[in-house]
Amino acid sequence: MNATAPALIPPFRFSTVQQGLYRGSYPTLKNFRFLRRLGLKTVVSVIPEPPTSDLADFCGNEKITLHHFYAEKFTSDNVTVSPATAAQILEIVVQQCNLPLYIHCLDGANVTGIVVMVLRKLQNWTKLATVSEFCRFTRDHGVEKDESEYLAVFSEEIVVTADAPQWLWNGVRVTKHPTMIVHQPDLELAAANSLDAAGNPNNGAPNLKWETEVEKTEAILRQFEEASRNRIGDAVEGSEEVETIIEEALQDLPLTRSLEALDLAGTLFWSGGAFESREELHLPIDMASTMPHNDADANSNAATNGEEHLTKTEAAAAATATSAMFVFTADKAGMKDVDKQHVQEVVHKMSKDSNFYQKSLRDNEKVEQRVAAMREKLATLTPTQQLRLQQEVDARVVQLEASRDLSHTVVVVDMDMFYAAVEMRDNPKLRDIPLAVGGLNMISTTNYAARKHGVRAAMPGFIGKELCPELHFVPVDMPKYQRVAAEIRAVFAEYDPGFEAFSVDEACLDLTEFVAKNWHQYAADAGLSMEDESKDSGEEEDSGLVETLTTARREAIASAIVREIRQKIFDCTQLTASAGIAVNVMLAKICSDMNKPNGQYTLSFTRESVLEFIRDLPVRKICGVGKVTEKVLNEALDIHTGGDLFAQREKIFHIFTEKTAVWLLQTSLAARERRERTERKSFSRERTFRSLNDPQQLKTKCKEICVMLAKDLEKADKAAKNVAFVYKNTDFARASRSVSLASAVFTADDLYANAVELLRRELPLTLRLMGVRASSLVSRRHGTSTLTNVVQDLNCADSKKRQLVIKKFAEHIPETPVVMSSKSVDSDEERNGI
């Protein structure tokens, strides 16, 4: 007698979602034979704990990729799958290479159903059809209010690659989804660069969407045919439910066009044998009544649905408000003739519905409240108080003037459109077209052809594309830029070994000593002779360090040296640089932007020239004054220039903190104290990413950051006695948590041990940015210990050494770690207490 083959037992609530996509409950041993028959490539577990060893072993033996996403067990109180988790799962589901795929939760009901609902939304199913399917699998065959709202407001970005399965949109890929944020890197880059999907030039519109009504209707009808046939096939033969099934299939389709549009594809479907006439479709009355029959009806419907149509005045007002909220609406080199009003209107239109814009509105409201409070405080200033303040502030002015130092020769060198210039150098075809380095999400830099359209760094790429449709994108290649930067820094080191790099493409050099030692060899290049020196011998000398030079000669020689620096940079990299030369860092930084591109500007090294320069300078041009400080100064005190700052000095001391007021006074005189070259006080590493909330993925990200931070500390030979965990959530709110340590740490493991504990205390979190900061730095050579060192010492055979280690740590380790939380500082102006 033949032995009976083991039964094929599917998991509880097992069902087919789409071809190659299955759903159900947690699979056990008895289900594995059934799952093996499916030929699975992927299993997605959406459960509170990691999958059991049975499931893990099964997947390992069958070479199935197992993904675990954290989600609490279903409760009727709230949805336990975060939007970020659902988005990450969908990105796996909509890749053909991952199919066949089985997705499950504990019972195959609500948790899995939430993910499938979002998938249906991505497929552009109607809410009615989506919820109807959802209810078939829930315990009570119903849907909670939170679940319905979850579907309605779901707004996470979904990445869809070229490997999308045929059933997702019936093979028709669109660049803009009607209800969701869909990111398709290959199509977006092709669209951005006016290339087809194969990378070939396309003179017309890229074929990345439904180009005509016929094409779109054909796709819709193919989807309808598939949906209706699948449902009819599942029904009992001869069932009276066929009509209802067809209506449900129609409800699933993105039918938003007129009935006339359907006629354009009549020969495709009506005469194809599926139905003899349109009447057989039993088009639902509510759908038919809402479908516009012509463009006029469509416009009418848009108006009746409350679509906003701003007047020019309203649009201008909105744009003006926008300019105060976004850094990328500010001027940059090469944007002198840009229509700012147009740029601001486009930015407002393209960003008004984003989370970032909403956060910017909240931040702007706080600034408005702050301005109002300052105005109220200013109103309380009596004439007597103002006179007293003026006397006190003028005494500070005398002190600042007495300490003014005009003896230094400082230069700030700023590479011209660095990332873009490197790409243009390596690909000459890019030189004459508007170019952006980055993508549709964010632009790192642009060339001057793009800046003429108002497109600049820190701007989202999709806004840049709206401003300049012919904008061409290339991806960021940071390793290449760093290699070029190393060549440039080698040039800087020839003139100032202690130069300070502000960024990968900008640095500050103090040429004071170099000028004093080498000025003779540059006299000819500066167009000077010894006779010039004798003619100027009556001038007052500025400093004993350069007592052999007059001010005019020092300016000329500094200019010649900087020309040589810029030429050397060009010779070794074929890239141009701009520079500013002045008596301090603040002024040199401002001057470096004066003659861009490929130029330099020298601000005369005299008190009169400095004061004249700062008097007419817009406050936004001053280093450390950002959009918030500019708005506060403009609206609270009607301050717009450096001269206004000085004129209103006593009022500034009345409404600002003393630290900020002193800083603004120094700025108004261009007499900021010279920044001494001190050792760094902290090191930090941050990374941005798409929303993450899975604890394990967050921990992995934290580990990666700590590895990078440890390398930075190693290069600087530093260790840290304070470790901070920095994060930004999906609402763009930024915060930090820190812990003070008894013994300094510097290894990746020790940094991670402290940072991950701070992370763990904050869970659950959904983050889009994470960072780790190391501060309270000490030299690694002076008594620093790591956890590894301590363990090694405790395990050593020398009992006396063990006792010394125990005693040392017993004396210094606090009973509980000192944990501090704070709002993170995002800008120079906040660091200055503004």
Place of tokens 């904050």: 762
The beta strand positions in 439-481, using DSSP E, are 443-446, 472-474
pLDDT at 291 over 50: no
User: 233: Cβ–Cβ under 8 A, 6 or more apart, which residues?
Assistant: none
pLDDT at 262 over 60: no
The beta strand positions in 374-495, using DSSP E, are 410-415, 435-438, 443-446, 472-474
Q: Is the bond leading into 51 cis (omega within 30 degrees of zero)?
A: no
The proportion of the chain whose per-residue pLDDT surpasses 90, expressed as a percent, equals 35
What is the phi/psi pair of residue 791, to 5°?
-60, -40
pLDDT of residue 675: 54
Confidence bin at 646 (pLDDT 50/70/90): very high
The proportion of the chain whose per-residue pLDDT surpasses 70, expressed as a percent, equals 68
pLDDT of residue 530: 52
pLDDT digits (tens, 9 = 90+) for 785-827: 444 455 454 455 455 555 555 554 444 444 444 444 444 444 4
pLDDT of residue 586: 92
pLDDT at 255 over 70: no
Nearest one of 77, 148, 83 to 694, comparing CA atoms: 83
Give the number of other Cβ atoms within 10 Å of residue 564's Cβ: 15
Strands 767-779 and 435-438: unpaired
**What are the structural domains, with CATH classification, of the chain?**
15-172 (3.90.190.10), 216-304 (no CATH), 367-405+606-676 (1.10.150.810), 410-414+484-605 (3.30.70.270), 682-831 (3.30.1490.100)
Confidence bin at 142 (pLDDT 50/70/90): confident
pLDDT digits (tens, 9 = 90+) for 32-69: 999 999 999 999 999 988 899 999 999 999 999 999 99
pLDDT of residue 211: 39
pLDDT digits (tens, 9 = 90+) for 225-243: 454 444 444 443 333 444 4
Confidence bin at 153 (pLDDT 50/70/90): confident
Confidence bin at 779 (pLDDT 50/70/90): confident
Instruction: Kindly state the helix (H) or strand (E) to which residue 635 belongs, with its residue range.
Output: helix 627-637
pLDDT at 542 over 50: no
pLDDT of residue 457: 82
User: 361: Cβ–Cβ under 8 A, 6 or more apart, which residues?
Assistant: 325
Instruction: Choose between 282 and 248: higher pLDDT.
Output: 248
Q: Residues 412, 588: contact at Cβ < 8 Å?
A: yes
pLDDT of residue 357: 67
Mean pLDDT of the region 422-440: 91
Which residues carry out catalysis? 506
pLDDT digits (tens, 9 = 90+) for 708-736: 999 989 988 999 999 999 998 877 778 88
pLDDT of residue 328: 47
pLDDT of residue 579: 96
pLDDT digits (tens, 9 = 90+) for 173-211: 666 676 677 777 666 666 555 544 444 554 444 444 443
pLDDT of residue 529: 59
Confidence bin at 577 (pLDDT 50/70/90): very high
Highest mean pLDDT among 277-291, 355-369, 645-659, 720-734: 645-659
Give the number of other Cβ atoms within 10 Å of residue 241's Cβ: 12
Confidence bin at 245 (pLDDT 50/70/90): very low
Nearest one of 582, 586, 580 to 600, comparing CA atoms: 580
Q: Residues 43, 65: contact at Cβ < 8 Å?
A: yes
Instruction: Choose between 477 and 808: higher pLDDT.
Output: 477
pLDDT of residue 789: 53
Mean pLDDT over the full length of the chain: 76
